[in-house]
Amino acid sequence: MAKDRSPDAFQPDEEVSHAFVRALDRMSVEGRRLAEASPGPLQEAIHVQRLLIKRSRALLWLARPVVAPGIFEESRANLRAAARLLAAHRDVTATRLTLEKLKRKTSGRRRKALAHAARMMSRVAEAGEFPDKERHLRLRESAGVFGGAVKEIKGAVAGREAWPPLAGRLEKAFRTMSRAGKKATATARAEEFHQWRKKAKRLLYLLEFAGAEPKRRKARLIKKVDKLQAKLGDYHDCVVAGESLRTKLPDEPVTRAALARLKKREAQLGKRARKIARRIKPDA
């Protein structure tokens, strides 16, 4: 489903540079708030922090034509570093949730295998691999790296007046996503599907940024791109779950049955993603 209106959306009477800095400021404040909060619902806080990082990466790509190449690469590397600090927790959580969700769609022996695998993955986390204290420290460290990257990006665009037209950058983002989709479809490799998902998510964030009040055709496009990246996200979660099972539960009798069900689900999601992509047009 399409999300609510983005709080970072560019206003028609607003300078692009002003909207860009305003969005980064909001995300930086939100990142600090998440890190400074008491270790309560850490799973949700980590999820939101990862979304902030992804949105800022999309904005950095938007501003690429006005950012010096060296600063662009350094800022992108810092944002990636902030995301990596949360990646291990994300993989364990995604694996458990994927197995539980897939269990509800399965019956018989494979349902039991998925249920058992989900319980085992929960025990992996509860056994101390990702205790709350460690997760909170990683969240705070990630927020610090993220805040530094945002400050660097803002400094890089300060005083820049010749911003690229939003329409041109959106068109390029759409072409990039389309090429990634064709490559994923041609190769059927999980790595290419992951790249496709990242490009689709970037396009989604930029579409949301480009208009606070999208007209009907633009709103339909946003909804379709959102649906595509969600399906590709489910596909990637199945891949991550499979890798986690092979790594953390290689000797469990249920692992083979769970992996077979995950592989079947990957094929289904890949097919659905391709079907959605065929209905997405830049002027839809």
Rounded to whole angstroms, the Cα distance separating 30 from 52 reads 8
Domain boundary among 125, 143, 164: 164
- Per-residue model confidence (pLDDT) at position 210: 86
- Both 149 and 244 in one domain: the answer is no
Residue 73 lies in a domain: yes
- Per-residue model confidence (pLDDT) at position 2: 42
Overall pTM > 0.85: yes
Per-residue pLDDT of the chain in tens (284 residues, 90 and over written 9)? 345 567 788 887 888 888 899 999 999 999 999 888 655 677 888 899 999 999 999 999 999 999 999 999 999 999 999 999 998 888 888 888 898 888 888 888 888 888 888 888 777 665 555 566 777 888 999 999 999 999 999 999 887 777 888 889 999 999 999 999 999 999 999 999 999 999 999 999 999 998 766 678 888 899 999 999 999 999 999 999 999 888 888 877 888 888 988 999 999 999 999 999 999 987 65
Q: How many domains does the chain have?
A: 2
Residue 1 lies in a domain: no
- Both 158 and 172 in one domain: the answer is no
- Both 199 and 213 in one domain: the answer is yes
- Per-residue model confidence (pLDDT) at position 233: 96
- Both 206 and 222 in one domain: the answer is yes
Q: Phi, psi (5° rounding) for residue 120?
A: -65, -40
Domain boundary among 164, 189, 215: 164
Domain boundary among 137, 164, 191: 164
> DSSP code of 212?
S
- In this structure, the number of other CB atoms found within 10 A of the CB of residue 216 comes to 7
Nearest residue to 52 (alpha-carbon basis) of 24, 74, 77: 24
Task: Pull the structure tokens for residue 246.
Answer: 């092979």
Burial of 36 (0-12, 13-18, 19+ CB in 10 A): exposed
Residue carrying structure tokens 């489903």: 1
Q: Which domain holds residue 282?
A: 165-284
Residue 5 lies in a domain: no
Q: How far apart are the first and last CA of the chain?
A: 17
- Both 79 and 201 in one domain: the answer is no
Residue 4 lies in a domain: no
Task: Pull the structure tokens for residue 245.
Answer: 């099972």
Burial of 192 (0-12, 13-18, 19+ CB in 10 A): middle
